[in-house]
Homo-oligomer: A and B are copies of this chain.
Amino acid sequence: MKASVIGATGYAGAELLRLLTGHPQVELAYITSESSAGEKITAMYPHLKDHVELELASLADLDKVAAASDVIFAALPQGHAMKIGKALRGKQVKFIDLSADYRFKDISVYEKWYKIKHEDPETKAVYGLTELYRDQVKGAQIVANPGCYTTTSILALVPLLKAGLIETEGIVIDAASGTTGAGRSLKMGSLYCEVNENYKAYGVATHRHTPEIEQIYSEFAGKPVVLQFTPHLLPLDRGILATCYAMLKPGVTAAQVNDAFQTLYGREYFIRLRGQGACPELKNVRASNFVDLGWQLDARTGRVIVMSCLDNLVKGAAGQAVQNMNVLFGFPENTGLKQLPVYP
């Protein structure tokens, strides 16, 4: 089958090229970039040398791209994918969007948090957190691939919300991401000497992944969840770890917590339950599509603390997109995604 990648020159786009090149069923059709159309991708990413020797095309060619592709991935900034989704709606080609444009059921939430007018409110997409929505993904034309912080956070607490073991009030998610999350654009704050040996919070009380997490939490809790989400910037390349705090409902036991995770994830290939007392580490999932989960109960405070981590460019972006592609096309879900984490 043929796949194209729109916005191939960002880190998520390049990661898609790496993963798709290793996928046994996929051949790359087009890769595009508006700023670098006409150049070879290897001029920007020499690590792909000899293996992705494609020239970057322009999006002006969207119809041609669509005609030549079974699936199109878009790794673009917010506000751009909706134009492509609108143009592709109803066509044969599948569309997997890595931006936030199609993630929200309530368009007004998107418009409020992203401060962008949505140009394609009619199109219905499926939210592609594969482990939770794989049945819906199967029949979708457009898949809204979840955000990186979002995937990490959602997978951490959904089992407990679904099982009704935690209070829906008072949830705090304190998360930290590697710097690939900031992309490859030229920003002072992304310079080596600014990030290295440094650590800080950002987007406190205002980060856009907040309402996306709330949307899914609310769905599984069966009632509205409002939560605190604080991201931090880590001096490393890849990985997100979320430390999630929730109040246990009175009387809930460690065994019930364990059962909730086992019930929902016990058979998931990509989710590895490290269990109670374990503290998952970023490096144990690096460059892979795995998610590691651990948790701890605190009798003094009545809380459960769930820690969840993944590689933001893989399970948090390109890897989950390929996982969704596998679902869409009926391949085993881990096809092309079985590589073990790279350690150390």
Chain A interface residues toward B at CB < 8 A = 11, 14, 18, 21-22, 45-52, 170, 172, 174, 176, 179-180, 184, 186-188, 190-202, 204-205, 226-228, 230, 232, 234-239, 241, 243, 245, 272, 274, 279-288, 292, 296-298, 300-301, 303, 305, 307, 309, 338-344
Contact = CB atoms under 8 A, between A and B. Distances in A.
A309 B47 CA distance: 12
Given A186-B186, A339-B22, A228 B200 contact: no
A236 B237 contact: no
Contacts of A272: 49-50
Contact of A187 (B179, B186, B238, B340): B186
Given A195-B192, A339-B339, A282 B51 contact: no
Given A235-B235, A272-B49, A307-B204, A197 B18 contact: no
Copies in the complex: 4
A265 to B, nearest CB: 12
22 contacts: A11-B344, A46-B284, A47-B285, A47-B340, A47-B341, A51-B340, A186-B191, A190-B191, A191-B191, A196-B344, A197-B237, A200-B280, A200-B309, A201-B241, A201-B279, A204-B279, A204-B296, A204-B305, A228-B305, A232-B243, A287-B342, A339-B339
Nearest to A210: B300
A179 B197 contact: no
B287 A193 contact: no
A209 to B, nearest CB: 14
Given A22-B339, A47-B283, A279-B201, A193 B296 contact: no
Contact of A196 (B172, B188, B192, B287): B192
B193 A237 contact: yes
Given A179-B193, A197-B282, A228 B303 contact: yes
Please indicate which of the listed interface residues A50, A235, A303 has the most CB atoms of chain B within 10 Å of its own CB. Answer: A235
A56 to B, nearest CB: 16
A88 B180 CA distance: 46
A19 B245 CA distance: 37
A66 to B, nearest CB: 26
